[in-house]
Amino acid sequence: MAVAIHRLPQSKGRLAIIAGAGTLPHHVAEAARLQGEDPFIIALSREADTDWTGFDHAVCAIGDFAAISRTFETEGIDRVVLSGAVRRRPEWRDIRPTLKTLAKVPRVFRTLISGGDDAVLRMVIELIEASGAHVIGAHEVVPGLLADTGPLGAHAPTDEDRRDIEAGIAAANALGALDVGQGAVAVGGRVVALEGAEGTDAMLARVADLRKDGRISIRRRGVLVKLCKPQQDERADLPSIGPSTVAGAHAAGLAGIAVEAGRALVLERARLVQEADRSGLFILGIERDGRRDRR
């Protein structure tokens, strides 16, 4: 995959990547190396699924801020990227605070119990920065992963697809405002699925099952829409799509995927486009307010 080079701000310290599941952390690490960085990987136990041989790395539990903070100090870390999926929310007993974050523990517990994903991520960023490191977005390291405005690949949406996109945008905006999820599926102008804690791939599998059961029309295809939450901190958990998203959308009988231009990540772009073209799906970068793509 070709990676766009983007110079990070000057720093005396080292870059750390706190890595969850998926391929995104490895893309970010490789891009950082191309810029002369020597990234240190903090792989989250029970989450990270990449072989980090060839990179300096350590394995830490997701809530062990004391161990993570010690790693920052030992390795001279001053910038951190949060990258990859985290499928398991830490339990209160998993939290290992530092002295600097001890006073925040009661609020941490409340957020873990009742907060949405974005609230939890903002809390994590605050705890990391209390340890003396600055959190930056993955897109600041690899801006070439961001979706562009307009079609990506050989296929473009029809007028019916655009009506589904508009319905999906309205649903994704409402869902995001509740801090629940980032994606929605619309078929025939009707919203048929909303993304919850199960994630996009599981939502698409649910749509495929609904289609098989006759709960969704087999004559109308439909669209997956993914947007940032309105209140989202863009340093973590930007919406993303990859080849598995294309496979799931195809299995669900959809016509295509629309993602927010400039605020969503396209992983393994060349392979994704190849799979979308082969499957007859469009991939489209859209504006949040639903304005049509520029051609």
Give 22-37 pLDDT, tens digit per residue: 888 998 999 899 888 9
Do 129 and 214 belong to one domain? Answer: no
Residue 209 lies in a domain: yes
> What is d(CA 222, CA 243) in angstroms, rounded to the nearest whole number?
18
Q: Which residues contact 166 (CB under 8 A, 6 or more apart)?
A: 290
Do 64 and 97 belong to one domain? Answer: yes
Residue 275 lies in a domain: yes
State phi, psi for 16 to the nearest 5 degrees: -115, 145
Instruction: For residue range 31-67, list pLDDT tens digits in order.
Output: 899 888 999 999 999 889 999 999 999 999 877 888 8
Residue 295 lies in a domain: no
Residue 244 lies in a domain: yes
Residue 202 lies in a domain: yes
Given 80, 105, 139, which residue is the final one in a domain? 139
Do 169 and 217 belong to one domain? Answer: yes
290 pLDDT band, cuts 50/70/90, is low
**In the predicted model, what is the mean pLDDT of the chain?**
86
101 pLDDT band, cuts 50/70/90, is low
CATH number at residue 89: 3.40.50.20
Mean pLDDT value across residues 277-291:
88
Residue 55 lies in a domain: yes
pTM, 2 dp:
0.81
* pLDDT of the residue at 118: 65
Residue 78 near residue 13 (C-beta atoms within 8 A): yes
Do 134 and 165 belong to one domain? Answer: no
Do 113 and 226 belong to one domain? Answer: no
Do 95 and 220 belong to one domain? Answer: no
What's the structural domain count of the chain?
2
Do 268 and 152 belong to one domain? Answer: yes
The parent domain of residue 243 ranges over 148-284
Instruction: For residue range 8-21, list pLDDT tens digits in order.
Output: 445 578 999 999 98
Contacts 24+ apart (CB under 8 A), 291-295: 292/162, 293/149, 293/150, 293/151, 293/261, 294/149, 294/150, 295/150, 295/151
Provide DSSP, the chain: ------PPPP-SSEEEEEE-BSSHHHHHHHHHHHTT--PEEEEETTT--S--TTS-EEEE-TT-HHHHHHHHHHHTEEEEEEESB--SPPPGGG----TTTGGGHHHHHHHHHH--HHHHHHHHHHHHHHTT-EEE-HHHH-GGGBPPSEE-SS----HHHHHHHHHHHHHHHHHHHTTS-SEEEEETTEEEEE--TT-HHHHHHHHHHHHHTTSS-SS---EEEE---TT--TTS---EE-HHHHHHHHHTT-SEEEEETTSSEE-SHHHHHHHHHHHT-EEEEE-TT-PPPP-
Given 95, 110, 139, which residue is the final one in a domain? 139
Residue 194 lies in a domain: yes
Q: Is residue 147's pLDDT more than 60?
A: yes
Q: Is residue 220's pLDDT more than 70?
A: yes
Do 109 and 161 belong to one domain? Answer: no
Do 77 and 197 belong to one domain? Answer: no
Do 85 and 195 belong to one domain? Answer: no
Q: Is residue 190's pLDDT more than 60?
A: yes
Do 112 and 224 belong to one domain? Answer: no
Do 133 and 101 belong to one domain? Answer: yes
Surface-to-core class of residue 27, CB atoms within 10 Å of its CB (0-12 exposed, 13-18 middle, 19+ buried): buried
Residue 230 lies in a domain: yes
CATH number at residue 211: 3.40.140.80
